[in-house]
Amino acid sequence: MFSLKGKTALITGSSRGIGKAIAKQMFLQGANVVISSRKAEACEQVATEINALNETPSPRALSIPCNISRKEELENLVNTTKAKLGQIDILVCNAAVNPHFGPMSTIPDTAFDKILSSNIKSNHWLSQLVLPDMAERKDGVVIIISSIAGLTGNPVLGTYGISKAADMALTRNIAVEYGSRNIRANTIAPGLIKTDFSQALWANEAILNEALKHTPLARIGNPDEVAGAAVFLASKAGNYMSGQTIVIDGGSTIV
């Protein structure tokens, strides 16, 4: 039920952290995977690392660098993927930015605009580029990596949380508009996961201890624990799930 053999997955922000873990786990389930982030060298390194897991010499991990804030680079990402791998069966919008750590009252307009553009508009653009082909084939999966910051208020991640709440709404609307053409769209909302992106939180002992006080599992997560949910949503196991948000946070939002 969890096999992705013969499928192609395009994963943004996949040179590290949650995106890299999703690419690796989808690859291990048989998918071709596209590794994409801004830096070409980092993408190539991860693609080589993942291809080394393959039992056959044919590479199934492809490196295509892309800055998600530039529409022309997203177009190149999609067109190059289709030219080299045939089609895109699974789209994982994982790349995101957060240039402001602090209250919304102090965020500069430039940072506010960058967060909303990179975390919402780029996912909208990428979906627009990929969904028509999926609709024509009547088969496809879209997964957007959101955050529990989109479910709760936060004194230092307010604008980031707004963008992540919008990603949940974007997913629901894709599910409604394309469901009749057998396209499923879902969101994953991780809690505190040990990645470079969230280092400002878990590397700060006071913030970490406060977070763990309100986390029933009494620890932070690791990227593979998010990747498993992505594999589920992309595979036959998740065939009847659409428009939903899966929260993976060790239980912190229930306390």
Give the active site residues.
160
Start-to-end CA span in the chain (Å): 33
* Cα 138 off chain centre by: 22
Which amino acid is located at 70 in the chain? R
Q: Which of 145, 152, 157 is nearest to 115 (CA)?
A: 157
- Quick check: 187 and 246 in contact, CB under 8 A? yes
d(CA 106, CA 110): 12
Residues contacting 130, CB < 8 A, separation 6+: 10, 78, 88, 91, 140, 142
Which amino acid is located at 132 in the chain? P
